[in-house]
Amino acid sequence: MELVVVVAIIVVLAGLTLGAMNFINQKNARTKAKVQVDLLANAVQDYNADNRSFPESTDATGERGDEVLYKYLYWDGFEARDNGGKVYLSALDPVYNTKGGQAWIQGKDAQARIVDPWGNPFHYRTGEQAVNPDFDLWSAGPDGKTNTDPKHKDSLDDIKNW
């Protein structure tokens, strides 16, 4: 009987530990996504300061916005580095990205995708569809689903710059 009680206590403690680890991992992923959104937003602001325009994305849902960001914030500057091109966010370098931790670049060259800690691409849009006057930038969150309506159930876990 004592052995059964000891095993039951161990099982309960193991369950509590696993639950706590999952909570901590999710909290860390949300924090990392917030930092990534801030880094990307600052790089977009730097791009605007130099070029007097934001990287243009006409996609209302922002689904391919990460490709736009990668092109304007890293790839174009990398390709033109010998002619004075500027890389606005060096963290987008795929070589830099492979050094430990979760890489936030998938792929190589101009086809690379910028992904959040859950492996989903970031969203970016400009123009009339944007909530902000300048640009919208967001992660779809842990569920990988998003909606243009901020009150929609798919948008509740999104991490946004607005």
For position 97, what pLDDT does the model report? Answer: 60
pLDDT tens readout for residues 25-43: 889 889 989 999 999 999 9
pTM: 0.79
Task: Note whether 148 and 45 are within 8 A (CB).
Answer: no
Segment 5-20 mean pLDDT: 89
Domain ranges within the chain, ordered by starting residue: 2-160
Each residue of 61-111: pLDDT tens digit?
778 888 888 888 888 877 777 777 788 887 777 666 655 445 677 766 667
